[in-house]
Amino acid sequence: MNDEAACVLFDSGHRACGGCAAAMAARLILDAAGKDTIVVSSTGCMEVFSTPYPETAWNVPWIHSLFENNSAVASGIVASLAKQGRKEKVIALGGDGATFDIGMLCLSGAFERGHDFTYICYDNEAYMNTGIQRSGATPYDASTTTSPAGSCSSGNPRPKKDLPAILAAHGAPYVATTSIAYPPDLKKKVEKAVRTPGPCYIQIHAPCCTGWGFEGEKSIAIGKLAIETGLFVLYEMENGVVTRVKKVVRKPVEEYLIEQKRFRHLFKPRRNEAEIAKIQAIADRNAEKFGIDIKLKK
């Protein structure tokens, strides 16, 4: 993953936190997509930490307009390139707030119209740039600053929105989930998406040490646990059909939850068995739906 070309396209010196998975994602995305790529970023952590005027970390053409319009801006760029006979690939990049919530209208419109671009969401499961507020991608029971755990709340009351399914329902030819904890998987999926004509969607699970509450050196380990517990599933959908799934020997969700401050209220001051069981049930449903369990031979 420390491929020289990648480091050149998304350069060092940006202001991301140590251990930031979004920064790792940017590097891996460009490593896979290559230099003939135009990136359209939403407002958010990635945009802010990578482009404090007069500096930029991007050595590909890059544009940021607003929080919620990267898909629409990308639509215009794709149209413009087509008119000019240019061949650059277009990637719209947004956090989960920009993608799941405020940018949903533009995203839906761009996918319905079928523009040839790839939308990549770095999913760190809350509004991190503004200080860890809940989004439509925040998992059940996560404590955020707008869904705080309290005496009569166990954190975020709703499960994560199933955005890949929504975009697949738009007729997207290729939809995939991946994680920064699996760099080869991430790069392979980005390569496939940018190569596939039409609107493609990739959701990258990107643990946020600051927002989730863990030490920066654990980003990859936490990312792996999300997959290994079945709380985040790695899969590909082609023309609406799930074609590939990463199988795992599942671990109990507790091993993932206990590592993060955002779930601490489930363990302290006392274990909340009922809520932990509900989260385990979410993982169990994921496992059944996608068939991720590797059956060990006894």
Partner 1 sequence: MLEIMEGSHAVAEAVGYCRPQVIAAYPITPQTHIVEALADMAANCKIDAEYITVESEFSALSACLGASAAGSRVYSATTSQGLALMFEVCFNCAGMRLPVVMSIVNRALGAPLSIWNDQQDSISLRDSGWLQLYAEDNQEATDLHYLAYRVAEDHRILLPAFVCFDGFILSHTYEPVDMLTQEQVDGFLPPFRPYQKLDAADPISFGLFASPDYYMEFRYAIDQAMNRARTVIPEAGKVFSEMFGRDYSGLVEEYRLDDADCAIVAMGSICGTVKDAIDDMRNEGKKVGLLKLRAFRPFPVNEVQKALKGVSTVAVLDKNISLGSKGAVALEVRDALYGTQIPVHDFIIALGGRDVRKKDIAAVVAHAEAGKGDTYYGLREEVLK
Q: Could you list the residues that contact partner 1 (CB under 8 A)?
A: 35-38, 40, 47-48, 51-56, 58-66, 68-69, 71-77, 79-84, 88, 105-106, 108-110, 112-113
Two tokens at 192?
């496939």
- One-letter amino acid at 35 equals K
Burial (CB < 10 A; 0-12, 13-18, 19+), residue 48, is middle
Radius of gyration of the chain (CA): 19
To partner 1, the closest distance from the beta carbon of 124 in angstroms equals 19
Residue type, 8: V
Closer CB to partner 1, 77 or 121, in the complex = 77
Minimum CB distance to partner 1 smaller for 23 or for 72: 72
Tell me how far the alpha carbon of residue 29 is from its chain's centroid: 12
If the CB atoms of residues 62 and 100 are measured against partner 1, the closer one turns out to be 62
CB of 66 to partner 1, least distance (A): 6
Torsion of CA 68, 69, 72, 77, to 10 degrees: -140
Nearest-approach distance from CB 57 to partner 1, in angstroms: 9
Give the H or E element holding residue 242. strand 241-245
Nearer to partner 1, 71 or 229 (CB): 71
Give the nearer residue to partner 1 in terms of CB position, either 55 or 255.
55
Burial class of residue 15 (count of CB atoms within 10 Å of its CB; 0-12, 13-18, 19+): middle
Whether the CB-CB separation of 56 and 22 falls below 8 Å is answered with no
Q: Residue 88 or residue 293: which is nearer to partner 1 going by CB? A: 88
Residue 44 or 139: which CB sits closer to partner 1? 44
Residue 104 CB, shortest distance to partner 1, in Å, is 11
CB of 203 to partner 1, least distance (A): 22
Compute φ and ψ for 254, nearest 5 degrees.
-55, -35
Q: CB 78 → partner 1: shortest distance, Å?
A: 8
Q: Is 230 helix (H, G, I), strand (E, B) or coil?
A: coil
From the CB of 10, what's the least distance to partner 1, in Å? 12
Residue closest to 167 by CA, chosen among 231, 226, 121: 121
